[in-house]
């Protein structure tokens, strides 16, 4: 079930909302939490009921391991829990990729399992690992099974985050003031959800048509069309994930739960490290807290302390940063294109750190432009299905496939024909619409406050009510197709 589907908005959500607060008023709180967890499992199983036993098994085993960690603080339990979670993720997400490369490397013909990736496995795996580590560190006190199941399955964040801590979310469910309907939270939640719905339906889904069109003729795509396609994907991904994050936060507010901000105008960043820190904030935070710092300590103890590895602290840090983002790339997908994308992310952060150490300062617009262009460039690997596709698109972006402008511009830009620019038609449809959307995308991301900034000044006034009504109704009327969010496949 999708947030941007009529059955979710007009059927599932009202039933869950009414049921939750009615049960809060007439029954013990564990009943309403069980209701919300059961509805969240229905939400998850609506996509493919076959994987419901998998998430239930994962929840049950992690709960038992977490309880053992709270009671006994045995490191062996923590290691077993992490191995179980990563093993489950590795089997479903990476086993076929491993077999493919084994076949390629050793010229074997081992049949692939063709496993279907269970929805949200990357997100609930990391969330459960963070829970186990927090249990081991003594940061979890309440280990009630219903509470834990709700913590993992709460439908606003289940499919694509944000990744949340048990100690952050569960006290909100246990607060007596949150058991009653809060009309201010409802007004704010509807406001934020409507903005997210608009981003998804009216922006991301329209950018996607240009991207899909361009990816169909990569063998012949030329310079201007290639940049149109890559910029369209850059904005599609932005508004798709930003829209999902808004909708998740808005939905949680309806139940008086405040989820952490997961997206903070990354395309306004003036350096690559800042951009990374603003994109998928909770994933970055998880990777630093639960991967980077433990990895740094482990590498320092096992390798960097050896006389054979006499490296400066800056070089050690750079290696750790590149490894961290390599893992981030692998987490996003099983493919060499994701591995390269992760490496390029890490290299971008390291280069910026070196740049800043040398105290080199650029004009703000140039710094922003370099950051945005680099992000747009490496997203080619994120979007491409394989390395061949990525290389074809990069070849065109570098002008190696030639330059073709629309025939209508020939009388204005005819001098460009002397430098290899040709005028004619290209297979890319609706070029002017795509260009208009790209310009609109730049205006929105650079000229307006983001949703989290708007939330700070939100007041349920008549003007806001009219604004919400317009964008909500307009989005609903344009739900001609219901498309998945891009992060669902991760």
Show which residues are catalytic: 332
Please list, in sequence order, all residues whose beta carbon lies within 8 angstroms of the beta carbon of residue 221, skipping any fewer than 6 positions away.
214, 229, 392, 393, 396, 401, 426, 427, 428
Q: How far is CA 118 from CA 48, 113, 131, 226, in A?
A: 8, 14, 20, 33
Torsion over CA of 7, 13, 14 and 15, rounded to 10 degrees?
Answer: 90
Please list, in sequence order, all residues whose beta carbon lies within 8 angstroms of the beta carbon of residue 358, skipping any fewer than 6 positions away.
none
CB 192 within 8 A of CB 290: no
Q: Could you give phi then psi for residue 263, rounded to 5 degrees?
A: -155, 120
CA atoms within 13 A of residue 250's CA, in its CB half-sphere: 27
Q: Give how far the C-alpha of residue 6 lies from the chain's centroid of Cα atoms, to the nearest Å.
A: 23
CA atoms within 13 A of residue 50's CA, in its CB half-sphere: 5
Reference 322, options 298, 342, 297; nearest CA is 342
Please list, in sequence order, all residues whose beta carbon lies within 8 angstroms of the beta carbon of residue 430, skipping any fewer than 6 positions away.
209, 210, 213
H helices within 51-119, ranges in order? 52-72, 75-106
């Amino acid at each position: 079930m999708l947030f941007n589907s009529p059955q979710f908005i007009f059927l599932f959500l009202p039933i869950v909302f009414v049921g939750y607060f009615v049960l809060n008023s007439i029954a013990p709180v564990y009943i309403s939490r069980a209701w919300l967890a059961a509805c969240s499992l229905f939400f998850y199983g609506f996509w493919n009921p076959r994987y419901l036993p998998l998430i239930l098994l994962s929840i049950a085993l992690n709960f038992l391991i977490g309880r053992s960690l709270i009671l006994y603080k045995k490191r062996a339990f923590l290691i077993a829990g992490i191995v179980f979670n990563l093993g489950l993720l590795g089997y479903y997400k990476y086993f076929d990729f491993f077999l493919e490369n084994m076949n390629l490397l050793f010229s074997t013909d081992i049949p692939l399992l063709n496993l279907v990736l269970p929805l949200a496995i990357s997100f609930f795996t990391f969330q459960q690992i963070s829970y186990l580590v927090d249990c081991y560190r003594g940061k979890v006190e309440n280990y009630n099974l219903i509470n834990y199941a709700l913590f993992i399955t709460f439908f606003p964040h289940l499919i694509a985050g944000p990744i949340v801590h048990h100690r952050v979310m569960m006290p909100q469910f246990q607060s007596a003031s949150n058991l009653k309907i809060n009309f201010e939270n409802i007004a704010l939640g509807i406001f934020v959800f409507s903005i997210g719905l608009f981003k998804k339906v009216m922006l991301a889904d329209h950018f996607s048509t240009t991207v899909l069109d361009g990816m169909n003729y990569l063998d012949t795509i030329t310079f201007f069309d290639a940049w149109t396609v890559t910029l369209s994907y850059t904005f599609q991904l932005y508004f798709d994930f930003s829209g999902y994050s808004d909708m998740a936060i808005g939905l949680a507010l309806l139940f008086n739960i405040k989820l952490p901000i997961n997206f903070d105008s990354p395309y306004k960043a003036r350096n690559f490290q800042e951009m990374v820190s603003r994109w998928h904030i909770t994933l970055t935070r998880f990777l630093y807290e639960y991967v980077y710092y433990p990895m740094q300590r482990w590498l320092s103890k096992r390798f960097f302390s050896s006389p054979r590895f006499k490296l400066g602290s800056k070089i050690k840090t750079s290696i750790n940063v590149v490894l961290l983002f390599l893992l981030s790339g692998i987490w996003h997908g099983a493919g060499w294109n994701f591995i390269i994308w992760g490496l390029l992310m890490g290299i971008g952060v390291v280069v910026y750190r070196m740049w800043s150490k040398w105290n080199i300062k650029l004009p703000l617009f140039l710094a922003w432009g370099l950051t945005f262009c680099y992000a747009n460039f490496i997203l080619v690997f994120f979007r491409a299905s394989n390395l061949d596709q990525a290389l074809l698109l990069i070849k065109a972006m570098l002008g190696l496939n030639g330059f073709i402008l629309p025939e209508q511009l020939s009388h204005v830009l005819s001098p460009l024909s002397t430098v290899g620019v040709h005028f004619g038609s290209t297979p890319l449809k609706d070029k002017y619409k795509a260009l208009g959307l790209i310009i609109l995308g730049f205006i929105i991301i650079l000229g307006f406050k983001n949703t989290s900034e708007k939330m700070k000044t939100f007041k349920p006034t008549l003007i806001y009510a009219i604004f919400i009504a317009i964008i909500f109704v307009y989005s609903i009327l344009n739900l001609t197709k219901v498309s998945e969010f891009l992060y669902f496949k991760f």
